[in-house]
Structure 1
Amino acid sequence: MLDWLNEVIGEDLIAVYEGHYCTEDAVIWLRQKPRTIGELRSEEIDWLRWMAASTNNPDLLEKLSQDFDSDVRMWVACNPLTSRLVLEKLAEDPIVFVRRGVAQNKSTPPHLLIKLNADPDTQVRILVQTNTTNKRTFQLS
C-alpha cells in the first residue's frame, strides 16, 4: 500500500469538508478518533472520490492521483486545480476514463491536448476538440 495512505487526516483537511451535506457522515466518522486516508478509503471509497473532485489542495491531488481506484484518479484528472505535472502522468494512465478526465479538464496545457488528440479512444479525441473550442490560440496539428 502507498505510504501516503498511512497519513493521519488533520484538522485542516476535516475543516475543509465540514458543513458540506454530502460529507456529513464522513466528518462525524473522522472526528471519532484520528484516522488515516487509507482508513477513509476502506470505510467509504466514495468519500475519497468526492475529495478528489472537490479539493483545492495540490499536495492532496498529487497523492490521490496515485490511488489504485481508477475513479479516484479520474476525478483528480477532472479537477481544474490539478497540477500540470500530475495531469502529464494521468494523460498516460492505462484506464481510458482517466485520460478522458485529462482531455476535458480546462486546465490541461496545450501540449498535453495535442498528445491526447492522438489517443486511440475516440471519446478522448472528441473531448480534446471540445476542450480546445474555447482556446482560440490553440490549434491542433
Structure 2
Amino acid sequence: MTKKLMTARRRAHRAALFTGLALTGMGTLHLVKPEPFDHLIPEQLPGTARQWSIGSGFAELGTAALLLIPATRKAGGVAAAALFVGVWPGNFKMAWDWRHASAAKQAISLGRLPLQIPMIMSAVKIAKNA
C-alpha cells in the first residue's frame, strides 16, 4: 500500500468517526426533540413533517452506525452522501422561510447552504477510501 493511499485511508477513518459521531448526536436530537426540525420539511412531501423528522433521525442513526463500524464504512459513506443530498432541500426551505427574518437568521440560513457541499464531498471520500 502506498503512503498516499494510507494517508487517504487515515483521513477517511477520521472523517468517518467525526461524521458518525455528529450524525449520532443529530439523529438523537431528531428523536428526542423533533419540533425544530419539523419546520425544515418541505410541505410538498407526503405525510407529516413529524414523520419526516423522526424518519430522518433514524436515517442519521443508521448512517452513523454504518460509518462507525469499519466493515460497513464504505456503505456508510455512500449513505451519508445520499443523506446529505436528501436533507439539502430543508436548508433551502429554511433560507426561503427566513428571507425576511433578522440579518443574523438570514446569515445562518444562507450559510448552511454551501456547507452541505464539503459534507457531501467528505462522505464520498469516506466511501472511496474506506
Output the TM-score relative to the length of structure 2: 0.30
Output the TM-score relative to the length of structure 1: 0.28
Structure holding more helix per residue: 2
Asked which structure has the greater RCO (Cα within 8 Å, sep 6+), the reply is: 2
